A = this chain, B = another copy of it.
Amino acid sequence: MEILKKMMDLTKGLETPFILLDLEILKRNYKRLKDNLPFVDIFYAVKANSHHRIINTLKELGSSFDVASASEIEKLLKLGITPDRMSFGNTIKKESDIRFAYSVGIDYYAVDSEMELEKIACNAPGSKVYFRLMIDSSDSDWPLSKKFGTNSEHIKSLAIYAKTLGLVPFGISFHVGSQCNNKFKWREAMKEASKIFRELKLDYDIDLKMVNLGGGMPVVYDKPIPTVEEISEVIKDSIEKYFYFVKDLKIIIEPGRSLVGNIGVIVSSVILRSKKTDGEWVYLDVGIFHGLAEAMGGIKYQMIVEGKENSKLKTFKLAGPTCDSIDIMYEAVELPEDITLNDRVYILNAGAYTTEYATNFNGFYGPVVYFVEDLEFEKTRANSIEQKEES
């Protein structure tokens, strides 16, 4: 709350909607993860928030990057990130993107099907491939569909096929599902992955070398979640227990939301409040099309209405500004009963999958991006000018 007060002061007078990002929190998130899993290489999932200052901050901290397309790769190259710090984690790659990745020197490619192996063999010969294991993700807020990954049996046959295609079967990746609330899911997945390691070694003399723990570490939206420390303990135990037989095991993790989710606050304004036959509605200047798409998918953002933090709450419907009937964030959400026109609404933990999902639909633009460090710098400068003028 103190931080929020500071944010309110810093952003006074700025026109909404905007998103305020705090790179200091990003640094803390990265260090916390690295401190807990010092032997794990962090590959930030660029898709969560690809702002170049986020990428740059992580680059300085020593992070590597999980990329999904040629233009993500191009962006990182422009920022001076070398290809050995990138992994092409999309299991559905365009052939032209594979060629591009190979031409710049990327060596790791995710795979879950025969055709993907063939595309890689053809466009990135000799590369290292890792296989995405599909695990039950019913403990996540957003269980992943079967769009990605495949089962253990299929992975073994893919590994053998990879070898015949001249590729290097290199490891197993998995994804416990976004916002995974059960820390033991990581243990389950690692146990299953280790079996594949063992069987490929014993039966086919294929030495896998890498475990990719994927993403899925949760961010607090509206309910208690396991901490990074708790999940890291489970991961460390599982490595000892299941992977003791693998020499020089390379372990990577692909956090997205857990690194950037809590570094951003979207600041919006109430543009209408109205009473309808089905209840009272509040409309914001930001909606589904301009940053809050995940509200549709079930993310329950915590919201603070400036100056009304202690008001009695009431149930409202909450919608965005466009002429589109799907632009509704919540059919029922608690807001201050005295919320009204031009109130500022702070939408917390909005750093991941917000600006990335934004469109310009209906002539409304997504939130402008501000950084805490810039606003603080400006404020310090303004203060020192004021002091000079006074003296």
- A326 within 8 Å of B (CB atoms): yes
Contact, CB under 8 Å: B321 / A363 = no
Q: What residues of B have a CB within 8 angstroms of the CB of A357 in the complex? A: 289, 359, 361
The answer to whether A115 and B359 touch (CB under 8 A), given A71-B364, A90-B323, is: no
Residue of B nearest to A287 (CB): B92
The smallest beta-carbon distance between A23 and chain B, in angstroms, is 22
Q: Contact check, A362 vs B147: say whether CB atoms are below 8 A apart.
A: no
Q: A322 and B68: CB pair below 8 A?
A: yes
| Cβ-defined partner of A325 (8 Å) among B95, B142, B276 | B142
**What are the residues of chain B within 8 A of A361 when measuring CB–CB?**
47, 356-357
Task: Report A68 CB to chain B, min CB distance, Å.
Answer: 5
A272 on interface, CB distance cutoff 8 Å: yes
**Which residues of chain A (82-106) have a CB below 8 Å from chain B?**
89-95
Interchain CB contact under 8 A, A94 and B271: yes
Interfacial residues of chain A within 49-81, with CB under 8 A of chain B in the complex: 50, 67-73, 75
**A150: chain B residues within 8 A (beta carbon):** 276-277
Chain B residue nearest to A356 (CB atoms) is B361
Q: Which residues of A contact B (CB under 8 A)?
A: 45-47, 50, 67-73, 75, 89-95, 112-116, 119, 134, 142, 144-148, 150-151, 178, 271-278, 281, 283, 285, 289, 297, 317, 319, 321-328, 341-342, 356-365
List 27 A-B pairs, Cβ < 8 Å: A47-B324, A68-B363, A69-B364, A71-B363, A89-B323, A90-B362, A92-B272, A94-B285, A95-B271, A95-B342, A113-B275, A116-B272, A119-B341, A142-B325, A144-B325, A145-B325, A145-B328, A146-B277, A147-B327, A150-B276, A289-B357, A356-B360, A356-B361, A357-B359, A357-B361, A358-B359, A359-B359
